[in-house]
Amino acid sequence: MEWIYEPWPWYISGFMIALVMFLLIMVGKNFGMSGNLRTICTICGSGKKVDFFRFDWKSQRWNLTVVLGAIIGGFIAHQFLTVEATVALNPDTVSDLQLLGFENAGKTYMPEELFSSAVFTDPKNIILLVIGGFLVGFGARYAGGCTSGHAISGLSNLQLPSLIAVIGFFIGGLTMIHLIFPLLF
Amino acid sequence: MKRTLIYLLIGILFGIIMFKSEAASWFRIYEMFKFEAFHMYGIIGTAVFLGVVTIALIKRFKIKSFYGEQVHFPPKQKSFARYAIGGILFGLGWALAGACPGPMFTLLGAGFLPIIIVIVASLLGTFVYGLLRDKLPH
């Protein structure tokens, strides 16, 4: 069982994600995380102003429970199932990132520049996280799903719309990293 | 109550997978878009391959859920604009924040507190989509 403390290889990770989707199908639900953002908006009262949020959020309680689990799972994995949270990146990626100013690439799980508490007093990086998060929320709802709903569930069900969305995810991601990152960092 | 516990356990499993697979790592998303590692493609590819086989088998043999109910796979609405534009906007955000709507919650649990900024902003993005929905091409 020692492997559990190491980073999981792609084939175990991929198998486990398919297992999660299978389990959700077999309990009569579906695998899609971004719908929860809409549900949370509804709980916060958005339905009073906007029709899109006027629905019975209680029908989505099961998915909020899955999200609560995802939070707990993150805690368990980081605290109890990880000895050293480093990511074994390609050395070329590490040198690219260092040129962009991400000094601990390859040494930590997340870049200190964006995800250490020092960010809270760094207006530029706060703005970048806000823009990133905003686009994730806006884009996921516009496209009707995110990585789980389209790339995993939708493609598994051979849905053409999901293929269009996933190609869109890559056009957006490649544009951000190859064209916009050099302007930002 | 029992079902709620099952959803919670599935979520915990999902959270552990997202963290341990490093799919929740900002660095891995960057590396994926640089095409400098097979890791993320291996994860998504394996999951989709097994997913296609699983769903085909469930449909072919009309497998019922654990509770004996019919399993439904609602087809996605046919359209181009919403998937292409929404997808591109999502991809821009995914690469910048390095997190999508599942892993962002895993990162919260793992204690990377600035992810709260990303989560709140994603709620704001969802709200603004709802506000503008009727004016956007779908």
Distance from CA of A56 to the nearest CA of B (A): 16
The number of angstroms, rounded, from the C-alpha of A163 to the middle of its chain's C-alpha atoms is 18
Q: CB-based contact (8 Å) between B45 and chain A? A: yes
Contact of B62 with chain A, judged by CB distance below 8 Å, is answered with: no
| ipTM for the complex shown | 0.96
Chain B closest CA to A54's CA: distance in Å? 10
Distances (CA, A) of B98 to A30, A78, A136, B80, B90: 24, 18, 10, 26, 11
pLDDT in tens, A37-56: 999 999 999 999 999 999 99
How many domains would you assign to chain B?
1
Say yes or no for a CB contact (<8 Å) between A22 and B54: yes
Let me know: does B52 contact A21? Beta carbons within 8 Å.
no
Under the banding of pLDDT at 50, 70 and 90, the label for residue B115 is very high
Is B92 among the domain residues? yes
Residue A1 confidence (pLDDT) above 80: no
Closest Cβ opposite residue B14 in set A27, A50, A66? A66
pLDDT value of residue B74: 86
**Contact criterion met (CB below 8 Å) for A162 and A144:** no
Both tokens of B100, joined, read: 């999508």
For A94-114, write each residue's pLDDT tens digit: 999 999 999 999 999 999 999
| Domain range for B110 | 2-37+74-135
B124/B129 Cα distance (integer angstroms): 9
Between chains, do A52 and B129 touch, taking CB under 8 Å as contact?
Answer: yes
Within a domain: B78: yes
Q: Please say if the pLDDT value at position A2 is more than 90.
A: no
The yes-or-no verdict on residue B1 having pLDDT over 80 is no
- Does the beta carbon of B116 lie under 8 angstroms from any beta carbon of chain A? no
Nearest residue, CB atoms, A110 vs list B25, B69, B117: B25
Judge whether B19 lies within some domain. yes
Q: Which secondary structure element, helix H or strand E, spans residue A61, and what is its range?
A: helix A61-80
Q: Closest partner residue to B123 among A137, A144, A148, by Cβ?
A: A137
Give the pLDDT score at A3: 86
pLDDT confidence tier of residue B18, bands split at 50, 70 and 90: very high
Question: B13 in a domain, yes or no?
Answer: yes
Contact A146, B122 (CB under 8 A): no
Residue of B nearest to A107 (CA): B27
Q: Which of residues 95-114 of B touch A (CB under 8 A)?
A: 95-102, 104-114
Q: Does B27 touch chain A (CB under 8 A)?
A: yes
Residue B66 is assigned to a structural domain of this protein: no
